[in-house]
């Protein structure tokens, strides 16, 4: 048993003073201050001056993802350990069916990578790289038998993951029937490929051209098209991943104003980093920030609009899209041709901190911080109330967060398997102090007490937000 005493518990509705009793792997009770057990066989953790929040739920990671002839550099071991250090106690990773593969084989491969290697609990979405009769049937099986209730489709990457509009519509109709969530990578891939080819022909090979050939219009158009298609599929639940641009957000907001089953996430990189300052860094340096959707221009309204969207709930979730590649030998594959740079940024360790900075900056309330990093992703993807909340009967996934401390981010101190940091030199208010996963202390007093194999696969139910 653990008694977390003297802290300020923060839930999605805001902060309150309380003591939290953990018995075994679950939260047993929440007490008014000092009303809990006075003595007994339990460890007391002093949370005075700290926020006591539910462990973070990162609904978008790619450990060991094969991409562009290489693999994302974090394994399930290193990536979930880094997540734990950063206060994230559940990840939802993407199992992959590549075009021509059997869905269940792809899923089995991802179970093989993760099983026994994770430090925190994990679940899977399924990427459908080929929508056909077989994979549509597999969607039903995954929902009913495997605890996988969300499917990612791509309007980008022709020849790799791309689905055409007919395939998308069929998958959406299936999801409407079985209650699954369709997650959409909303960028117009065929149009982007034309722009990429033209840029390379002009000799524009630097990393910044990755961003310039993926203009906002092609994200907004794809987002809009996905929303219209979901409407044709009787308002199938639709979740836009890694939304980066103001005009894409406008599409989502308009659909939500109409009461549609349309949701969206953004990622820390779009809230803070820009096309000019990072992707446009001199020489090949900008390769560190090549991700899709791309970083947007600081001269436009994107970042302010995304923060506003988080406040207004037009954006429901902040995930990382954690997809790390080392600079040496991986990002370097794209020297002389930006289109060969593996796409991805590693942030799984920093999301809780980076969003707390939004609280310090007056952009989010404490309750909204917890909601966007933990409660809503848990509810969105069928993990609630096991995850995402501190409540009797919920898993004891708990973070003590110290608002008086500071976090300095960089390659010397991070735990991700990367030879650089997209956030090098960022110094932010607040610090993850203690991390508990299903009743086990993983991080305390700057030391790591977790182990791979502690993290378990979690079967998910349907989204809480379905109408
Ligand atoms: Zn994507
Ligand atoms: Zn992704």
In a domain, 457, yes or no: no
- Protein residues near ligand 1, an ion, with CB under 5 A: 185
Domain identity same for 115 and 183? yes
Do 41 and 62 sit in the same domain of this protein? Answer: no
Give percent of the chain above pLDDT 70. 100
Mean pLDDT of 404-432: 97
**DSSP assignment string, 168-228:** HHHHHHHHHHH-PEEEEE-S-HHHHHHHHHHHHHTT--STHHHHHTS-HHHHHHHHHHHHH
User: Is 459 within the bounds of a domain?
Assistant: no
Same domain, 196 and 296: yes
If pLDDT is split at 50, 70 and 90, which confidence band does 159 have? confident
458 falls within a domain: no
CATH number assigned to the domain comprising residue 143: 3.20.20.140
Using the mean position of ligand 2's atoms as its centre, give its distance from the Cα of residue 126 in Å.
Answer: 11
Give residue 86 CA to ligand 1 midpoint distance, Å.
Answer: 23
Is-above-0.85 flag for pTM?
Answer: yes
Q: What gap in Å lies between CA 408 and CA 89, rounded to an integer?
A: 21
**Average pLDDT of the chain, as a whole number:** 97
Collect all residues with Cβ–Cβ distance below 8 Å to 450 and sequence separation of at least 6. Answer: 81, 84, 119, 120, 437, 440, 442, 443
pLDDT grade for 466, boundaries at 50, 70 and 90: confident
Q: 58 pLDDT band (50/70/90 cuts)?
A: very high
Ligand 2 centroid–CA 321 distance in Å is 5
pLDDT digits (tens, 9 = 90+) for 292-347: 999 999 999 999 999 999 999 999 999 999 999 999 999 999 999 999 999 999 99
CATH number, domain containing residue 417:
2.30.40.10
What tokens were used for 58?
């990162």
The residue from 357, 380, 403 where one domain ends is: 380
Q: Indicate whether 49 and 80 sit together in one domain.
A: no
What integer pLDDT is reported at residue 320 of this predicted model?
98
> Does residue 254 lie within any of the structural domains?
yes
Say which ligand is closest to the CA of 240: 1
Same domain, 127 and 9: no
pLDDT at 451 (0 to 100): 98
Rounded to the nearest whole angstrom, what is the distance from the C-alpha of residue 44 to the centroid of ligand 2?
A: 39
Distance of CA 293 from the midpoint of ligand 2 (Å):
9
Using CA atoms, how far apart are residues 246 and 223, in angstroms rounded to an integer? 11
Quote the pLDDT of residue 15.
Answer: 98
Looking at the fold, whether 307 and 423 belong to one and the same domain comes out as no
Query: Does some domain include residue 387?
Result: no
Domain assignment present for 422: yes
Task: Say which residue the tokens 């020849």 belong to.
Answer: 159
pLDDT given at position 69:
87
Task: Determine the distance separating the centroid of ligand 2 and the alpha carbon of 205, expressed in angstroms.
Answer: 24
Ligand closest to 161 (CA) is: 1
Q: Which two tokens stand for residue 452?
A: 């791979």
Which has the closest alpha carbon to 433: 2, 4, 40? Answer: 4
In this prediction, residues 170-182 reach a mean pLDDT of 98
Pair (80, 102) in one structural domain: yes
What was the pLDDT predicted at 467?
Answer: 65
Q: Would you say 63 and 79 are in contact if contact means Cβ atoms under 8 Å apart?
A: yes
Looking only at the bridges linking them, the beta strands covering 150-154 and 181-185 are parallel
Average pLDDT of the residues in 406-425:
98
CB atoms within 10 A of CB 353: 23
Distance 152 CA to ligand 2 centre (A): 9
**Count of other CB atoms within 10 angstroms of residue 89:** 29
Looking at the domain assignment, is residue 364 inside a domain? yes
Structural domain containing residue 16: 2-53+394-448
Residue 45 counted as domain residue: yes
Question: What ligand is nearest to the CA atom of residue 153?
Answer: 1
Distance 359 CA to ligand 1 centre (A): 27
Question: How many whole angstroms from 63 Cα to the centroid of ligand 2?
Answer: 10
Q: How far apart are CA 431 and CA 366, in angstroms?
A: 15
Q: Give yes or no: residues 411 and 316 share one domain.
A: no
Mean pLDDT of 254-273: 98
- The Cα 125–Cα 123 span in angstroms is 7
Q: In angstroms, what is the span from residue 26 Cα to ligand 1's centroid?
A: 34
Are 423 and 351 part of one and the same domain? Answer: no
* CA of 186, nearest ligand number: 1
CA distance 376 to 351: 15
Per-residue confidence band for 49, with pLDDT thresholds at 50, 70 and 90? very high
- Same domain (yes/no): 29, 70: no
Domains of the chain: total: 2
Q: Say if residue 124 is in the same domain as residue 159.
A: yes
Q: Based on the domain organization, do 406 and 314 belong to the same domain? A: no
- Beta pairing partners, 61: 93, 322
Is residue 43 packed enough to be buried (19+ CB in 10 Å), middle (13-18) or exposed (0-12)?
A: exposed
Question: From the CA of 185, how far away is ligand 1's center (Å)?
Answer: 5
- Burial of 279 from C-beta contacts in 10 A (0-12 / 13-18 / 19+): buried
Asked whether the predicted pLDDT for residue 39 surpasses 90, the reply is no
**For residues 107, 466, 241 and 143, what is the CA-based torsion angle, rounded to 10 degrees?**
10
455: CA distance to ligand 1 center in Å? 25
Q: How far apart are CA 214 and CA 229, in angstroms?
A: 22
Report pLDDT digits (tens) over 101-136. 999 999 999 999 999 999 999 999 999 998 999 999
- Asked whether the predicted pLDDT for residue 56 surpasses 90, the reply is yes
Residue 343 Cα to ligand 1 midpoint, Å, equals: 9
Burial 200-230 (b: 16+ CB within 10 A, else e): beeeebbbbbbbbbbbbebbbbbbbbbbebb
Q: How far is the CA of 242 from the centre of ligand 2 (A)?
A: 7
- Ligand 1 center to residue 227 CA distance, Å? 16
């Amino acid at each position: 048993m653990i008694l977390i005493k003297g802290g300020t518990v923060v839930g999605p509705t805001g902060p309150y003073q309380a003591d939290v009793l953990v018995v075994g792997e679950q939260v047993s009770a929440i007490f008014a201050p000092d009303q809990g057990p006075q003595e007994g066989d339990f460890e007391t953790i002093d949370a005075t001056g700290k926020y006591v929040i539910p462990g973070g739920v990162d609904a978008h990671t790619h450990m060991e993802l094969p991409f562009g002839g290489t693999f994302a550099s974090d394994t399930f071991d290193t990536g979930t350990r880094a997540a734990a250090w950063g206060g994230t106690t559940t990840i939802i990773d993407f199992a992959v069916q590549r075009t021509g593969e059997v869905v269940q084989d792809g899923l089995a491969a991802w179970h093989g990578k993760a099983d026994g290697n994770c430090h925190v609990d994990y679940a899977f979405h399924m990427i459908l790289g080929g929508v056909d009769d077989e994979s549509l049937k597999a969607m039903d099986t995954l929902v009913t038998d495997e605890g996988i209730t969300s499917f990612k489709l791509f309007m980008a990457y022709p020849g790799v993951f791309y689905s055409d509009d007919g395939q998308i519509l069929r998958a959406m109709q299936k999801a409407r029937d079985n209650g699954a969530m369709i997650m959409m990578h909303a960028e117009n891939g065929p149009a982007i490929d034309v722009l990429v080819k033209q840029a390379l022909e002009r000799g524009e090979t630097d990393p910044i051209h990755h961003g310039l050939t993926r203009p906002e219009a092609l994200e907004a158009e794809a987002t809009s098209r996905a929303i219209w298609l979901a409407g044709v599929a009787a308002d199938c639940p639709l979740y836009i991943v890694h939304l980066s641009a103001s005009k894409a957000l406008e599409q989502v907001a308009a659909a939500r104003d109409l009461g549609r089953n349309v949701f969206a996430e953004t990622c820390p990189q779009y809230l803070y980093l820009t096309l000019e300052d990072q992707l446009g860094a001199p020489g090949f340096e900008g390769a560190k920030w090549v991700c899709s959707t791309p970083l947007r221009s600081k001269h436009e309204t994107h970042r302010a609009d995304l923060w506003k969207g988080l406040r207004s709930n037009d954006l429901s979730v902040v995930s990382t899209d954690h997809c790390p590649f080392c600079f040496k030998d991986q990002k370097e594959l794209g020297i002389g041709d930006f289109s060969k740079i593996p796409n991805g940024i590693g942030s799984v360790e920093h999301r809780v901190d980076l969003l707390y900075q939004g609280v310090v900056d007056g952009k989010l309330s404490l309750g909204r911080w917890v909601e966007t990093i933990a409660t809503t992703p848990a509810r969105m993807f069928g993990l609630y109330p096991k995850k995402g909340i501190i409540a009797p009967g919920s898993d004891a996934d708990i973070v003590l967060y110290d608002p008086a401390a500071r976090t300095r981010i960089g390659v010397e101190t991070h735990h991700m398997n990367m030879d650089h940091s997209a956030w090098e030199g960022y110094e932010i208010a607040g610090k993850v102090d203690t991390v508990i996963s299903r009743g086990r202390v993983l991080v305390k007093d700057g030391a790591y007490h977790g182990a791979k194999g502690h993290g378990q696969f979690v079967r998910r139910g349907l989204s809480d937000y379905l109408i």
